[in-house]
Chains A and B, each alone.
Chain A
Amino acid sequence: MRPLTLKRLLWTCGALAVVLLACMVLALNLGAVPISVTDLVLNLGRVAIGQSDQLPTEYRLIVFDLRLPRILLGILVGAALSVSGASFQAMLRNPLADPFILGVSSGAAVGSILATLIAPRFTLITPLGAFLGAITTIAAVYFLGRREGELDSTTLLLGGVISASFLSAIVMFLMTALTGRDLRGTVFWLMGDLSTPIQPGLQWIFSVGLLAGIGAIYTTAADLNLLLTGEREAIHLGVDVTRVKLVVYVSASLLTGLAVSASGTIGYVGLLVPHAVRLLFGPDYRLLIPASALCGAIAIVLADTLARTVAAPTELPVGAMTAMAGAPLFIYLLRRGMR
C-alpha cells in the first residue's frame, strides 16, 4: 500500500512548477523575433534586481509588453480550464466531461458578449457575464443529461454538444451586433486566442478569482475521490454531497467564466490535461487538482508558443492547437468507453 503523502504531493507540484518556469523561459525566447537565451536571462536578472530601466527598448517591448502578458494569460487560462474539466469529470462521473464539450465555455462566451453589449463601459461586467453564462449552461446541460432521475452519460454529452453548437451560433449572431469587431474577433470567441491581454484594471480580479476557484475546489478533493465511486457511496462515507456539488459547480463555472472572458473558447484543455495527469500521477484528486493546474498552464504556454511560431509571422489561434490534439483523444476515450 502506497498512500499519497504530503512529501509526494509537494515534490510533484514543485517539479511541475520548475517545468512551467522552463516553458515560460522558452516561450519568452521563441517568436517572430528570435532572442538569445543568455540575453534573456541577463535581462530577466536586471528586472529581478529592480534595474528594469536599463533594458533595451526592443526588449521591453517584445519580452515584457508583448510576450510576458500573453504567457501569464496562458497560465491563467490553462490552469482554470484544466481544473474545471477535472472537476466536471468527477461531478458528472463522466471521463469525457470538459467545459468546451459540455457547452459551458460557449455559454460563458455568450454571457460575456451579452454583458459587453449591455454595459460596454463597465469592464468588470465581462467576467461576471461569463460566469453567469457558464453556470446557467452547466445547470441546463445537467438537467438535459438526466434520464429517469439519473445522469445518463451519452445523453449528457449529446446535450452538451448540442448546447455548444447552439450557443456558438448565438456567438456568431451577437458578434455581428458588436461594432468594431472583425473576423478576428469572431475567431477569438469561437476558437480561443491569447493575443488580447487582460485589461490592466482587471488583472487582479482574474488572479484572485483563479486562486479562489482552484482553492475552493481543492478543499473538496478528498470528497471528489469518493464521488467517483458513486454519490450514494459518498454519502455513506460521510460526504456532504449537496455542499460539495454547490462548491464545485460554482467554482468550476467561475474558472471557466474567467478563462473564456479572457481568451474565448479554447477547447479540449479540460479533457486533455487531466487525462494526461492521471496517466502520469494516478487518479487521486488530491494530487490531480494541483497537478492539472500546473500541467494546464504548461500545456497552454507550449501550445500558444507553437501557435505563434509554427507559421510565423502569421499567428494561429491557440484553440486550433488544442483542438488538433484534443479531438483525437476524445474519439479514443469514447471508443475505449464503448468497449
Chain B
Amino acid sequence: MSIAWGSLLVVFIVSFGAAVGVVVLVTCALVALSARARATTVPAGSAGGSGGGLSASAGTAVAGVCLAAAAAIVLFGLYIIVA
C-alpha cells in the first residue's frame, strides 16, 4: 500500500500558508483601517494609539495593499482549482 505522504504534506503546507496568510493580511488591513476611524474621532495631534501609528491616508493605503494581497491569494487558489 502506498500512502501519498508527499501530497498530504502539500495539503498541510499550502492550507496553512494560505489560510494564515489571508487571515493575517485581512487583520492587518483592519488594523490599518482603524487609523482612519481614529482620525475621525480623535482630534488632530492627539496620540491615537491604534492603527500602528499610521495617518488616515497611510492606513487606507496599507489596508488596500493588504486586502489586494489577500484577494490575490484567494483568486490564485480558485484559478488553480478551476484550471
Query: Are A and B a genuine interacting pair, yes or no?
Result: no
- The residues of B with any CB-CB pair to A shorter than 8 Å are none
